[in-house]
Chains A and B, each alone.
Chain A
Amino acid sequence: AQSVTQPDIHITVSEGASLELRCNYSYGATPYLFWYVQSPGQGLQLLLKYFSGDTLVQGIKGFEAEFKRSQSSFNLRKPSVHWSDAAEYFCAVLYGNKLVFGAGTILRVKS
């Protein structure tokens, strides 16, 4: 079955600390992978995407993600978190013509 797993429901990090949000997917072929962010009361915004090529992709707001085929993972990272990064983050995989989302990880940033 097509699925996207985000193992962490909540993560709390201190401002200025590094961040890694985990994402695993089930798919036989090379997937199209995405990370979206949703701030409170807002819709989702695309952070970055991976289609092919370099497995480390850069996105907006200083985020990056690394595709690891052997682990079926596409983890999101940021070297230094800012208080404005507090939001919910969704990993997504394009299965055919349909975008399937994970359940999301809520990021809390403490000062």
Chain B
Amino acid sequence: EADIYQTPRYLVIGTGKKITLECSQTMGHDKMYWYQQDPGMELHLIHYSYGVNSTEKGDLSSESTVSRIRTEHFPLTLESARPSHTSQYLCASSLGERPGELFFGEGSRLTVL
């Protein structure tokens, strides 16, 4: 079992609300990622981090922001949620010396009304 946790698992929220999706891992991995997953589509990388105080935007433009103040914690924030943000968000982590071998959380399914 991978030790990476996401909360909440499900969130239904109104337009304009601020939300934070939490992601924590206990494996000491230096790299962490956020992917967006929609049915029938590729997973799209929206943010990644190679270590504390390091964050980068991924290939898919996203209005969300992330922070990496502690190695184990990589939260994603949406300041003002919109229906277009409705999606599944997957957090993952990996060791730098094992590229491509990602451990995923169970996902946070966000619905914005």
Q: A97-B99, A99-B100 are in contact. Are A43 and B42 (CB under 8 A)?
A: no
The reply to whether A103 and B45 form a contact with Cβ atoms under 8 Å apart is: no
Given known A-B contacts A43-B107, A103-B42, A98 and B102 have beta carbons under 8 A apart: no
Task: Convert A77-111 into 0s and 1s, putting 1 for each residue whose CB lies closer than 8 angstroms to a CB of B.
Answer: 00000000000001010100111111110000000
Interface of B is mostly: loop
How far, in whole Å, are A98 and B41 apart by their CA atoms in the complex? 17
Question: Who on chain A is nearest to B96 by CB?
Answer: A97
* Given known contacts A99-B45, A101-B42, A42 and B106 CB-to-CB distance under 8 angstroms: yes
Q: Is the CB of A103 within 8 A of B40?
A: yes
Of A20-28, A44-52, A67-75, the one touching chain B: A44-52
For the A-B complex, the count of residue pairs with Cβ-Cβ distances under 8 Å equals 53
Complex: how many Å from CA A104 to CA B43? 9
Contact of B102 among A32, A46, A104 (CB under 8 A): A46
**Max chain A Cβ within 10 angstroms of own Cβ: one of B2, B92, B104:** B104
Q: What B residues does A94 contact at CB under 8 A?
A: 99-100
The distance in angstroms between the C-alpha atoms of A54 and B75, with both chains bound, is: 39
B42 touches A99 (CB 8 A): no
* A46-B43 contact, Cβ under 8 Å, with A41-B106, A98-B59: no
The minimal Cβ–Cβ distance linking A27 to chain B, given in whole angstroms, is: 13
Interface residues of A (CB under 8 A from B): 4, 9, 32, 34, 36, 41-46, 49, 90, 92, 94, 97-104
**Residues in chain B within 8 A of chain A (CB atoms):** 2, 4, 35, 40-43, 45, 48, 58-59, 90, 92, 99-107
